[in-house]
Structure 1
Amino acid sequence: MPSYPQFNPLRLRSYIFRLPLCTRLLVAAIIGLWVATIPFPWLREVAALTPDKMDLTQMHRLNLFPVMHLNFLHMLFDVFALTPLLERFEAEFGTIVTLSLFTGPFGLLPGGLYLLLEKVVLRSNTTVMGSSVWVFLLLSAEAMKTHKTNPNFSIGPYKIPTWCTPLLLILLTSFLIPRVSLIGHLCGAAIGYLWATGWMKFLVPHEKILRWLETKLNLLGRLPHYVSVDQKTYGRYGVLPSAVPLGTMPRSPEGGQRLGP
Structure 2
Amino acid sequence: MPEPATLSGVDLLDFLALAAAAGFEAVELSIQQAQHLGAARVRDLLDEYGLKVSAASGILPAGPVLPAPLLVDAAAYAEHLESLPARLKTFAELGCPVATTVLNPYSVLDQNEALPLARKRIAQLADAAAEYGVRLAVEAVSVTSGLPPELDGPHPVVATLPDVAELVHESGTVNAAVLVDSFHWAVAGADPGHITALGMGGVGHIQIADIPHTGTPRGWTDALRLFPGDGTLDWPVFADALDRVGYTGTASVELFNPFRRALAEDEISARSHRAATGCWTPEEAPR
Larger Rg, first or second structure (1 or 2): 1
Query: Normalized per residue, which structure has more helix?
Result: 1
Q: TM-score, normalised by structure 1?
A: 0.25
Query: Normalized per residue, which structure has more strand?
Result: 2
